[in-house]
Chains A and B, each alone.
Chain A
Amino acid sequence: MTNLEKYNAIFTEIFGATADQLGDNFSKETVSEWDSVHQLNIITLLEETFDLFLDPEDIMACTSYNAGKDILANQGIEL
């Protein structure tokens, strides 16, 4: 699995979203289920999948599909 596929799988697991739904418009503002529980689940799965330890700032910043990519980029993970 590529890193991007692994990344998308996190959103599929948490939101039941399909790959074609994921993109610029997939965020806290557009996805009604996206609350703190979901947000923390993303963080937990990011940490598990990519073997990371993220900071509170990352948790707070993780408010969209794209923001999650930025967090990974800051950790030196290319998608």
Chain B
Amino acid sequence: MILELQNIAPQRIAAIDSNNDKLTYAEITQLSQRISTNIPERAQCFLLVENNVGGIAWTIGMLESRKLVPLILNVKTEESLYQQLLDTYKPSYICAPTHVTLEGEIVDSQFGYQLCKVSDNLCILHPDLSHLLPTSGSTGSPKLVRHKYENIEAAGLNISTFFELKETDRPLMVLPLYYTMGLSMVFSHLLVGATILITGLSMTDVNFWKFLKEQQATSFTGVPYSFQILNLMRFFRMDLPHLELLTQGGGKMPTDLNTKFAEYCRDKGKRWIATYGQSECTARMAYLPAKWALDKVGSIGIAVPNGELSLIDAEGNPITSPHTEGEMCYRGKNVTMGYAREQADLVLGDERNGYIRTGDLAYFDEDGCYYIVGRMGRFLKLFGMRVGLDECEQIVQTECGIECACVGTDEKMIVYITNADKQNEVKDTLVQKTHIVATSFEVRVIADIPKNEAGKKLYSKLSFT
């Protein structure tokens, strides 16, 4: 098996959710064997998940079966995007919580989920293709990341190694299962036989805090915004003796907040580990070892075990001296195979061969620790979720019928338009389509959107803040 689950004591609890449902390692193995036996040929499946034990069981069950190749999606995926994905990829199966109405033949049902056969058409899937994740959960792009089985194994091994995960760990998982970092938490903890505490409860819900305390969580993983919530919820005044490790990913955290958590962990004998990663690399690619959490606050640290970071200059030549900016590149077995934009792409093999240019500008210091200084790619990370700027421009074009230019920082997107009458409509549309809080968008009216002679937008002429 990919995650060697057969080596874990069968009756050990793999996951507990905030409905108090439990899942054993044996139950995951049995489900994967059943899928493997019952599904005649490798087939594509849309897996709509919630953060509960059923979500983990079906995700891992499908991956380990090597029969069903899931596109893992939020059960609350916006309807028009979901429809677009269905039309584009035409899955043979859909698996969803039982409260979701599915049309088709129910072929299996367990852990509060149903597996439904929705089409007889089989598409050809590359033998290495393990699963698919959306590149951008919110802007409605049907572009997917193609993962291979080896990525799961590598992510599980790398991440459990640098976090020093062990069987007795009880990680609290609030990140969604369909989000690369959430999924990698599952891989790395199942590999060591730990018990995942999974919840879909909001961190502002009283039951969330009850779950954390009653289940004696030993670690917490979040995106910058999760830690802003912890801070506002007066986390530093709580008594949480079991909590031993705090880990952060999903974008750069404000320095003062990062320092506050690092100091808290130092004073309380806990570990604070900031990480860096991308969906294209099965989540984690770099981490800042806890010993440097304060001295090098803001650094993404060093490559994860079995990975390699490097820098190249504008001509593509390697940069070998510290404090020199260049594009950061990564090499490792967690690098995914490439993207899919249509069903026919699911037959494609590995287009990256373990190497990727990240699109992030960075430098490294004398100790080899990397610092991100900017981004070449056209996307922001709002609340840890990647939001494509070009996709947002497309939404505005389609829904409001006007041209705009989207720029911004990971704190806020700035949308430039030329028609003052559309200011509110543009904002409302983006809020509605992305489900991101309205305060994340600012719509500004300018006389003209700057362009070059070829008609290409000149984003550098616009203020990003």
Contact = CB atoms under 8 A, between A and B. Distances in A.
Interface of A: 13-16, 32-33, 35-41, 43-44, 55-56, 59-60, 62
Interface in B412-448: 424, 427-428, 431-432, 435-439
Contacts of A40: 204, 228-229, 232
Contacts, number: 51
B383 A37 contact: yes
Given A16-B431, A43-B232, A36 B204 contact: yes
Interface residues of B, number: 24
B438 A56 contact: no
Nearest to A11: B438
Interface of B: 76, 202-206, 209, 225, 228-229, 232-234, 383, 424, 427-428, 431-432, 435-439
B228 to A, nearest CB: 7
A60 B439 contact: no
Contact of B437 (A41, A43, A60): A41
Contact of A16 (B206, B234, B383, B438): B438
Report the 4 A-B pairs with minimum CB-CB distance, sorted nearest first. A36-B202, A16-B428, A36-B204, A39-B204
Contacts of A55: 234
Contacts of B76: 32
Given A15-B431, A16-B438, A32-B76, 20 more contacts: A14-B437, A14-B439, A15-B438, A16-B431, A16-B432, A35-B202, A36-B204, A36-B205, A37-B383, A38-B437, A39-B202, A39-B204, A40-B204, A40-B228, A40-B232, A41-B439, A43-B232, A56-B234, A60-B204, A60-B206
A33 B435 CA distance: 6
Contacts of B436: 37
Contacts of B203: 36
A65 to B, nearest CB: 16
Given A33-B431, A40-B232, A13 B438 contact: yes
